[in-house]
Amino acid sequence: MKIKSIFKWILIGFAALVVVVAAWAWLTTYHPADVESVKFECSDKAPVLKPGQKVKVLSWNVQYMAGKNYVFFYDLIDNSGPDERPSSADITTTINEVARVIKSENPDVILLQELDEGAKKTDYENQLKRLLSLLPADYSCHASAFYWKASYVPHPRIRGSVGLKLAVISRFKVTSSTRYQLELIPGDPVTMLFNFRRAVLELRMPVDGGGEFAFLTTHLDAFAQGTNTMEKQASQVKEILDTLSAKKVPWVIGGDFNLLPPGGMYEALPGDQRAYFNPKTEIEPLFKAYKSVPSLAEANGPEVKKWFTHYPNDPAVKAPDRIIDYLFFSNSVTMGAHYVRQNDTLKISDHLPVVAEFAIPGN
């Protein structure tokens, strides 16, 4: 066989291999639509919200039930953390602790971030299903949506499947569940295939006498330094909320926004911790348009420490030191008691639960 012919077949073989690998990468990763309905479960016996009723909401990033005994590789800005997964025993301890706090708080609606399903690092378990098995039976309505999913991620610190979800659990009847895709971090095509697909999950609940109330949860990017991704994601969240407000659908959204509040918190952080954020926070338009927990005054007041929601796994950080988790709510909604539960949650997750009571507007 001539050298030219051999070279030709080598090129054909290489091209075929590239096509096969590209097809595998596409077929084993997640490609949701910009807006799509997602499955929800709800008991026929679930009650309907009533005008004037008080509803307690808890929002919490539960860090895939890992607990606080680890410094994961991504917990340090240079990706040098020593740990890659929690132990099965720590997962069990943590999920029991999450259930304990939820039962103690007794919220009507639970907004969760960072629940695993099908992930190698958490034994491929459906964590939402396990959590629900530990909660009272009247939490009979729920929905979840992936924002990271792949059969195999070839990252040297992962090398296995991933599956990370948002979830909403409710005592009240649900009529629809919608997933909204957020902006992706730009990068090379291969990295983008295996990267996060950050999202907003919205559940609509009917109100007795007519109308609906929307509960939403989200988790914005944490590793978008050097891009305008955070600005775009915050803008997309605001657009979703503006649309609900224009349609006169009252709403509450909770989540891990990975953004500091406007004010002096950026300057208050040590220099190495500021690397995660921009001096001018991208969440400012949300604060200008809507009410929040904590409020801007609380986030910049003399008792700011009681509103801290994040306790990084970085060993250099010895206690909660920043606010990046919030509840925002529409201007038609009245808020009552609200707080960050800190005293007995510091060892459960690197985030602390944000809790508030809201009144359902009249028709």
Through-space distance between the first and last CA atoms of the chain, rounded to whole angstroms: 83
pLDDT in tens, 54-73: 999 999 999 999 999 999 99
Where residue 149 sits, what CATH number does that domain have? 3.60.10.10
> How sure is the predictor about 25, in pLDDT bands with cuts at 50, 70 and 90?
confident
Classified as helix, coil or strand, 357 is strand
Q: Are residues 236 and 337 in the same domain?
A: yes
Predicted confidence band of residue 262 (pLDDT cuts 50, 70, 90)? very high
**Same-domain check for residues 10 and 55:** no
Q: Residue 363: pLDDT above 90?
A: no
Span 299-355, pLDDT tens digits: 999 999 999 999 999 999 999 999 999 999 999 999 999 999 999 999 999 999 999
* pLDDT of the residue at 24: 77
- Are 318 and 180 in the same domain? yes
Whole-number average pLDDT of the chain: 95
Q: Are residues 15 and 38 in the same domain?
A: no
pLDDT band at 362 (very low <50, low <70, confident <90, very high): confident
pLDDT value at residue 23: 81
Eight-class DSSP state of 56: E
- What's the domain count of the chain? 2
CA 3 vs CA 11, 14, 17: distances in Å? 12, 16, 21
Q: What is the mean pLDDT of residues 132-137?
A: 98
Asked if residue 22 and residue 51 are part of one domain, the reply reads no
Mean pLDDT of 233-255: 98
Kindly report, residue by residue over 243-252, the tens digit of the pLDDT. 999 999 999 9
Over residues 92-101, the pLDDT tens digits come to: 999 999 999 9
- Sign of the C-alpha dihedral, residues 198, 330, 251, 309? positive
Q: Quick one: 21 and 54 in the same domain?
A: no
Q: Are residues 20 and 65 in the same domain?
A: no
Task: Name the DSSP letter for residue 227.
Answer: S
Read off φ and ψ for residue 2, nearest 5 degrees: -70, 155
Instruction: Say what the pTM is.
Output: 0.95
- The encoded tokens of residue 215 equal 């509960």
The DSSP result for 184-203, as a single string, is PPP--HHHHHHS---EEEEE
SS3 letters for 241-278?
Answer: HHHHHHCCCCEEEEEECCCCCCCCHHHHCCHHHHHHCC
Same domain, 108 and 67: yes
Q: How far apart are CA 71 and CA 78, in angstroms?
A: 12
Q: Which domain holds residue 1?
A: 1-30
**Is 26 found in the same domain as 48?**
no
314 and 209 in a common domain: yes
- Closest by alpha carbon to 255, among 267, 245, 241? 241
Q: Which tens digit of pLDDT belongs to each residue from 138-185?
A: 999 999 999 999 999 999 999 999 999 999 999 999 999 999 999 999
Q: State whether 247 and 180 are in the same domain.
A: yes
Whether residues 124 and 22 share a domain: the answer is no
